[in-house]
Amino acid sequence: MKLKLFTLPFLPEKGCFDDTAMKAFLSDKDVFTVYPNAFTVGDRPFWALLVKYDGKTGESVTRPLANETNDSNKPIADSSLHAKSPSFSTNELSDDQKNLFEAMRTWRYKRAHDAGFPPYYICTNKELEMIVKAKPTDLASFSAINGVKKSVIEKFGLDILKALKEVN
């Protein structure tokens, strides 16, 4: 497991953060966790992302760079991040759970895209798998899921619970 820190400057002309270098670096790596932090220098906003990753996936992964497939000029959450991770498998899920997982991944992508950040900022695939398996119905049962970060529950818990009801 390795760590890398990325500092993404805000591009006022595009209304988004420049994640081109980060996506190029991570295009052939397995990302486990991303720890975000927003800060400003003077009046310019930045996003610092500490990424926990593992070396090469062993498979060739081609992901487009910023704005190659995204017409909304929000490169940090383009559709390439919704592609299936080469290292993640839903083999441990039942068919119903797989369907729910895919529906929740689609919800997560749309929610992240609308907000201008990558889907894994809401939760990782592994966390999403644990959520789908547990099917929490309230924040208390959500908090009882082992392996889902407290920050995920605090920031997105109610949204995830609502989405689970809507797609289930």
Query: pLDDT tens digits for 148-163?
Result: 888 888 989 999 999 9
Residue 135 clears pLDDT 70, i.e. is over it:
yes
Domain range annotation of the chain: 1-71, 88-168
Residues in contact with 146: Cβ distance below 8 Å, sequence separation at least 6, in sequence order: 130
Q: Is the pLDDT of residue 166 over 50?
A: yes
Any alpha helices (H) in 17-149, and if so which ranges? 20-26, 95-115, 119-122, 125-134, 139-143
pLDDT of residue 146: 85
CATH 3.40.50.1000 for the 88-168 domain, yes or no: no
Q: Residue 107: pLDDT band by 50, 70, 90 thresholds?
A: very high
What pairs with residue 7 in β-bridges? 48
Task: Report the residue count for the chain.
Answer: 168
> What's the predicted TM-score (pTM) here?
0.51
Q: Is the pLDDT of residue 85 over 70?
A: no
Q: Which pLDDT score is estimated for 56? A: 61
In this model, does residue 87 exceed pLDDT 80?
no
Q: What is the mean pLDDT of residues 91-108?
A: 90
